[in-house]
Structure 1
């Protein structure tokens, strides 16, 4: 099989257009078209349906595109490993984690990592969906549960609990709830239980909602919950790691909290020797250790 033709086919299938693929490959549209026709002739199959709105893969084209996609990801992994064989830490590192953890904890600490490794290029992907690390949808993940995928290296970082917080201005104006019944006289700010989140947090919110809460504000991520709490809108359900960067948060109803949520760092086995992964892993571990030390110093 001609690798060059496969590369051109993959670009066309990805772009859905001969012209756009040609721009990406720095080839003319006619040259791209000739390569696609030659590939179809060699396979004895039509790979694209052609119409005025662009190109659509046939069933045979879908099969080949799946194969070239897997090949591309494996080649990317090989290139990453080769580049990581040198001493310097540089290049792109794709990190995935939840919107809450990424925006409220990780992003604030990245300047320290860039100070140490200024040539690192981090692509931070914040979403609740679990990306496929073995298929190289990301290089490293920080997840709020132990990863179940095979061929991953796992490191437990810490545990998190969801607890109730408010700010002084709100408590001065509305009073501090002392019991769960008191909470019914306050506005509860939380993630909607139908939004994607860790199960422990959703269970706590469902439990709180069994009480006659006077007013609620639901947001689909913890960043929004935090902003509402900081602006004095009510009592919010937040992960306990936010208190380190926001000492103005006051915990209320100390007896109310979720079960522990384990936080894991994970990356593919094939990236075990990656310098970038090692640098990121050591950085995260150092940040967690410093956090624990500060907690001991203030306790």
Structure 2
């Protein structure tokens, strides 16, 4: 396809957007319909993976990434810092109680990120690091899931306590924040696209739309 360049015309044509499984399957997928209503001539394809597609090789046109881009020929715009807290379901709390401090987590079932070559963001297992630092990680029952959305679903099902991004936990208002003073390292979310698409109106309107929607969201 030729370089995207719409001039003064309304944005139209194909636009391939890639992002992580959890962010793409929940926050982005639930809002992309509003973008399509605004720009019906833009044909959106969501490419949802926890491994990064090569934008320079045009495997996708634009990305929302939770790690800083490493390629020099990519333009990046910081969208927001995503916050993380501990969550559990009412079902789990009813059966196992609520921990009052970090040491109490030793008596609880924890759901953490499993082994994977494609981590969705840095410090994905900050909870494990915190437990080990506070000597609370010796005898825990650990359940590992190598997908953040899978961790979210496990928490919903009462499997245990997990560190979740706040935007994802907000998808289920019944989830309970555990030890609310404990917060994970904030993760930056970037809007990324190749230098050669700098003048793309399609990318510009998507960027502006995401900025507006993110401003409405508690991250």
Between the aligned partners of 1:81 and 1:115, the Cα distance in structure 2 is 21
Q: Which runs of 5+ in 1 are unaligned?
A: 1-75
SS in 2 for 1:226: helix
Q: Does 1:182 align with 2:182?
A: no
Q: Does 1:91 align with 2:13?
A: yes
Determine the structure 1 residue equivalent to 2:172. 246
Determine the structure 1 residue equivalent to 2:54. 132
Determine the structure 2 residue equivalent to 1:232. 158
1:140 touches 1:266 (CA, 8 Å); kept in 2?
A: yes
Mapping for residues 75-224 of structure 1, pairs under 5 Å: 76=1, 79-82=2-5, 84-85=6-7, 87-194=9-116, 196-197=118-119, 198-208=121-131, 211-224=137-150
**Could you give the per-residue CA deviations for residues 45-102 of structure 1, whole angstroms, max 9, x where no partner exists?**
xxxxxxxxxxxxxxxxxxxxxxxxxxxxxxx2xx2424x2352222211111111211
Query: Relative contact order: is structure 1 or structure 2 higher (C-alpha 8 Å, sep ≥ 6)?
Result: 2
With normalisation by structure 1, the TM-score equals 0.66
1:168 touches 1:248 (CA, 8 Å); kept in 2?
A: yes
**Could you give the per-residue CA deviations for residues 225-279 of structure 1, whole angstroms, max 9, x where no partner exists?**
1111111121122112113332212111223332111111011122122121012
Tell me how far 1:141 sits from its aligned partner. Answer: 0.8
SS in 1 for 2:125: helix
User: Whose helix fraction is larger, Structure 1's or Structure 2's?
Assistant: 1
Between the aligned partners of 1:275 and 1:225, the Cα distance in structure 2 is 37
Between the aligned partners of 2:63 and 2:90, the Cα distance in structure 1 is 36
**RMSD between superposed Cα atoms in Å:** 2.0
Between the aligned partners of 1:237 and 1:160, the Cα distance in structure 2 is 12
1:188 touches 1:234 (CA, 8 Å); kept in 2?
A: yes
1:173–1:120 distance in 2 versus 1, CA, 3 Å: same
1:195 touches 1:220 (CA, 8 Å); kept in 2?
A: no
1:213–1:118 distance in 2 versus 1, CA, 3 Å: farther
Q: Which runs of 5+ in 2 are unaligned?
A: none
Between the aligned partners of 2:48 and 2:146, the Cα distance in structure 1 is 13
Pick from 189, 202, 206 the counterpart of residue 276 of structure 1. Answer: 202
Determine the structure 1 residue equivalent to 2:193. 267
1:200 touches 1:260 (CA, 8 Å); kept in 2?
A: no
Max Rg structure = 1
